[in-house]
A and B are shown apart, each in its own frame.
Chain A
């Protein structure tokens, strides 16, 4: 056996040769071509390898293709592209319209003179409220009881925020009151514009449950390789807080949470789960209803669906359901019922 290691490069070179002998002409394999004429053992091995490889190659391509596969692929493409365009249209269109509206209103407000006092009334006041609403505040949290001064202060804060986003040129610090009020008015007008833009006159059709699952699948598969598990460690309570972890998920391993944006035109959180069996899954949570985002069709599951009701492709499966005003999408990075059900209590999935 002492000679075996010496022949290792020859063996590897033999295995690099495709059936047909053409690779022996490769300059990098010239040493093998020379050796084959002198060493009968090597020559036999080469011939044997060529014959076996020819058979394996033929068997490799011997796979029956299912009937109608081409049609199914085209149908899937139509559905996927349609829902993708729908989401992109909503997201991009909204941003462009918002920017345009803000710019127009800002220009009009400044050109038309600045009122001495801000007077937030009717739609303008609602717009300001919408603009200053903090992301962490729950829907329906009472605002009644605020003093007029508090509201005005919030109005200033909103005005400054909008002004920075709009012009990018106003810095913090003390500003003349009339400028603050002017920007407050701009903010109010912009927020009012938001209401007009998103009034459901010609909004795109809502996402169906199937489209939501397909969107979740595409979103998960499109995430970069290192994104999974890159967030902070999460140790909260399911169902508690905004964009809470789902109560329907049963998972005892480490959970990491990170922000995501653009999923169904919404911003939300992604909880990354890595089970003890080595199965990865990501639970995406976004608001069920969000201004500017395409609506969700009626009929979404109110609890995690069965495995056969999930969307599956490319070794992933996705489920979507609603829970306490939130839209949950679980994407399991493996396509099997066993992998899917390990993230739920048995009685939860019906």
Chain B
């Protein structure tokens, strides 16, 4: 199965990592079909380029890096990131202590789908890969300050999608029903089989 000169045990690689790669791919792409295609592509490339892997204990990071490249490449026309402001409005954060609303996985995907591929990618690196801002900077080969700005903006946009009522105006008080915040488009959430 493995390509010539490829030290990887591909069957084992697939068995151990395909679920994580698929989950990540789903969050990036937003559909099951695309996620499965991306996952297959990741392992195909891994199989062909297994010789490039230097450290066996970084297999998952390597697969995730391949996935990110495949994802960006699959978005042939990248959605431009809105210019926006670099400031994160303080008003978007409740001024008094309140439990954050619960986040449904479908609701999260609905919000992610409305972000640019670049935003989704850096959020994936932060939330899914659990990378620090330094590791993200190293991986993307961009300055640390740029990572912090991009990350903050991407998170602000994601929260703006998840909690639109906080993004609209200054709340006088925390939400009355903070445990579940219905979004205006909630009824249009895609239904997964």
* Cross-chain contact B97 with A44 (CB below 8 angstroms): yes
* Cross-chain contact B41 with A314 (CB below 8 angstroms): yes
* Cross-chain contact B128 with A315 (CB below 8 angstroms): no
- For residues 8 through 38 of chain A, which have their beta carbon under 8 Å from a beta carbon of chain B? 8, 11-13, 15-16, 18, 23, 26, 28
* Cross-chain contact B32 with A4 (CB below 8 angstroms): no
B96 to chain A, nearest CB (A): 8
Does chain B have a CB within 8 A of A346?
no
Does chain B have a CB within 8 A of A253?
no
What residues of B have a CB within 8 angstroms of the CB of A315 in the complex? 29, 34, 37-38, 73-75
What residues of A have a CB within 8 angstroms of the CB of B124 in the complex? 60
Report if A55-B41 is in contact (Cβ < 8 Å); known contacts: A16-B133, A44-B97, A73-B14.
no
Does chain B have a CB within 8 A of A313?
yes
A61 to B64, CA, bound (A): 14
A216 to chain B, nearest CB (A): 14
* CB < 8 Å A-B pair total: 166
Number of interface residues of A (CB under 8 A): 58
B164 to chain A, nearest CB (A): 14
What residue of chain A has the Cβ atom nearest to residue B130's Cβ?
A: A18
Does chain A have a CB within 8 A of B121?
no
A49 to B37, CA, bound (A): 34
* Cross-chain contact B39 with A73 (CB below 8 angstroms): yes
Residues 39-56 of chain A, each 1 if its beta carbon lies under 8 Å from chain B, else 0: 001001101110111011
What residue of chain B has the Cβ atom nearest to residue A53's Cβ?
A: B127
A279 to B132, CA, bound (A): 35
Does chain A have a CB within 8 A of B108?
yes
Interface stretch (choices A62-70, A109-117, A133-141) = A62-70
Does chain B have a CB within 8 A of A143?
no
Q: Which of B33, B39, B75, B76 has most chain A Cβ within 10 Å?
A: B76
Interface stretch (choices B53-61, B85-93, B182-190) = B85-93
* Cross-chain contact A18 with B132 (CB below 8 angstroms): yes
Interface SS, A side: helix
What residue of chain B has the Cβ atom nearest to residue A61's Cβ?
A: B23
* Cross-chain contact A73 with B108 (CB below 8 angstroms): no
* Cross-chain contact B10 with A59 (CB below 8 angstroms): no
B108 contact from A56, A225, A279, A335, Cβ within 8 A:
A56
Q: Which of B11, B18, B124 has most chain A Cβ within 10 Å?
A: B18
- For residues 152 through 177 of chain B, which have their beta carbon under 8 Å from a beta carbon of chain A? 152, 155-156, 158-159, 162
A334 to B117, CA, bound (A): 14
What residue of chain B has the Cβ atom nearest to residue A333's Cβ?
A: B76
* Cross-chain contact B102 with A278 (CB below 8 angstroms): no
* Cross-chain contact A316 with B152 (CB below 8 angstroms): no
Does chain B have a CB within 8 A of A204?
no
- For residues 1 through 50 of chain B, which have their beta carbon under 8 Å from a beta carbon of chain A? 1, 3, 10-11, 14-15, 18-19, 22-23, 26-27, 29, 32-34, 36-41, 43-44, 47
In the A-B complex, list the 6 residue pairs whose CB atoms are closest, starting with the nearest.
Answer: A315-B74, A314-B41, A15-B152, A16-B133, A63-B23, A62-B105
Q: Which residues of B pack against A, CB within 8 Å?
A: 1, 3, 10-11, 14-15, 18-19, 22-23, 26-27, 29, 32-34, 36-41, 43-44, 47, 70, 73-77, 86-90, 93-95, 97, 99-100, 102-105, 107-108, 124, 126-128, 130, 132-134, 144, 147-149, 151-152, 155-156, 158-159, 162, 192
Can you give 21 A-B contacts (C-beta < 8 A)? Answer: A11-B152, A15-B88, A15-B156, A16-B133, A55-B102, A55-B103, A56-B162, A59-B103, A61-B23, A63-B23, A65-B18, A66-B32, A81-B3, A81-B47, A312-B37, A313-B40, A314-B38, A314-B41, A314-B70, A315-B37, A315-B73
